[in-house]
């Protein structure tokens, strides 16, 4: 069994894998990490290996607690990856993007794949059927767009995400919803269409915290998988164990 620890900007995800299948998945705040870690350790006695991927921050003391019990792989830019990385600034490539590309290598071998991760930011990552990764794009996510409109203007309110009934907003609130929601949907569909013009046999993966919210609205055919990053981390751990 493997324990996967994904430290995001807002939460920590802990997932137990056995034979590439998720047996347990928990989400907690950084402050509750040790408590949840100990619960998993008590429940699953056969965990042998652990990988930690951190976009957010765990305290060194928290990581040291995990290392007391397990052999831990901390994902960095020096970690061996299952693809050819042609990103021009590899040391600035997010570990979350490394994991997503790794998941596509495992699950869609010899395919052209576009991975769209819809979270705090929306990231686009493309890997070719030759197992070559060159990069993609980064843009603001849904919540970030709402917050930016509120924080960088004098009078616009901070709203919760909502799918508008019509593209024409007839109030300030509905205009904001229209701008954010239709803007993101048209952006994602537009990016997909552009990639499809270059790669007819394109496989598209949608993942991240806003997967369910967005997948119902996109016109393009996609594979929606909210656990794709965790699966990629598990594959990196196995890849480095051989």
Each residue's pLDDT tens digit, 148-170: 999 999 999 999 999 898 999 99
- Does the domain spanning 84-233 belong to CATH 3.90.45.10? no
Active site residue 32: no
Strand pairing partners for 127?
113, 133
DSSP-derived secondary structure for 10-79:
S-EEEEEEETTEEEEEEEE-GGGHHHHHHHHHHH-TT--EEEEEESS---HHHHHHHHHHSEEEE--TTS
Question: What is the residue extent of each domain of the chain?
Answer: 2-74, 84-233
Residue 225's contacts (CB-CB under 8 Å, 6 or more residues apart) are 205, 206, 207, 211, 231
Is CATH 3.30.420.40 the classification given to domain 2-74? yes
pTM of the model: 0.91
Strand 84-85 and strand 132-140: the pairing is: parallel
What letter does residue 162 receive in the DSSP assignment? -
State the pLDDT at residue 56. 67
Residue 133's pLDDT is 97
Chain centroid, CA 36 distance in Å: 21
> Tens-of-pLDDT digits for all 242 residues of the chain?
999 999 987 789 999 999 899 999 999 999 999 999 999 999 999 999 999 998 767 888 999 999 999 999 999 999 999 999 999 999 999 999 999 999 999 999 999 999 999 988 999 999 999 999 999 999 999 999 999 999 999 999 999 999 898 999 999 999 999 999 999 999 999 999 999 999 989 999 999 888 888 888 887 778 999 999 999 999 999 999 97
- Of 6, 64, 96, 125, the active-site residue reads 96
What pairing do the DSSP bridges indicate for beta strands 2-7 and 49-54?
parallel
Pairing mode, if any, of strands 84-85 and 71-74?
A: unpaired
């Amino acid at each position: 069994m493997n324990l996967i620890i994904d430290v995001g900007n807002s939460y920590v995800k802990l997932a137990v894998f056995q034979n590439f299948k998720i047996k347990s998945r928990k989400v907690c705040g950084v402050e509750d990490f040790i408590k949840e870690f100990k619960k998993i350790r008590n429940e699953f006695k056969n965990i042998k290996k652990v990988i930690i991927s951190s976009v957010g921050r765990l305290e060194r003391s928290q990581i040291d607690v995990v290392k007391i019990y397990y052999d831990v792989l901390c994902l960095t830019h020096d970690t061996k990856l299952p693809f050819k990385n042609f990103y021009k600034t590899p040391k600035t490539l997010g570990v979350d993007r490394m994991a997503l590309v790794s998941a596509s290598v495992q699950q869609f071998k010899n395919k052209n794949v576009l991975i769209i991760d819809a979270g705090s930011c929306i990231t686009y990552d493309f890997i070719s059927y030759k197992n070559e990764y060159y990069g993609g794009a980064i843009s603001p996510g849904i919540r970030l767009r709402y917050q930016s409109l509120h924080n960088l203007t004098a009078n616009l309110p901070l709203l919760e995400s909502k799918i508008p009934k019509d593209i024409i907003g007839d109030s300030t609130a509905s205009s904001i919803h229209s701008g954010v929601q239709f803007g993101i949907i048209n952006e994602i569909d537009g990016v997909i269409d552009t990639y499809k013009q270059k790669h007819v046999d394109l496989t598209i993966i949608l993942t991240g915290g806003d997967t369910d919210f967005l997948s119902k609205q996109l016109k393009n055919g996609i594979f929606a998988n909210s656990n794709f990053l965790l699966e990629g981390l598990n594959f990196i751990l196995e890849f480095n164990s051989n």
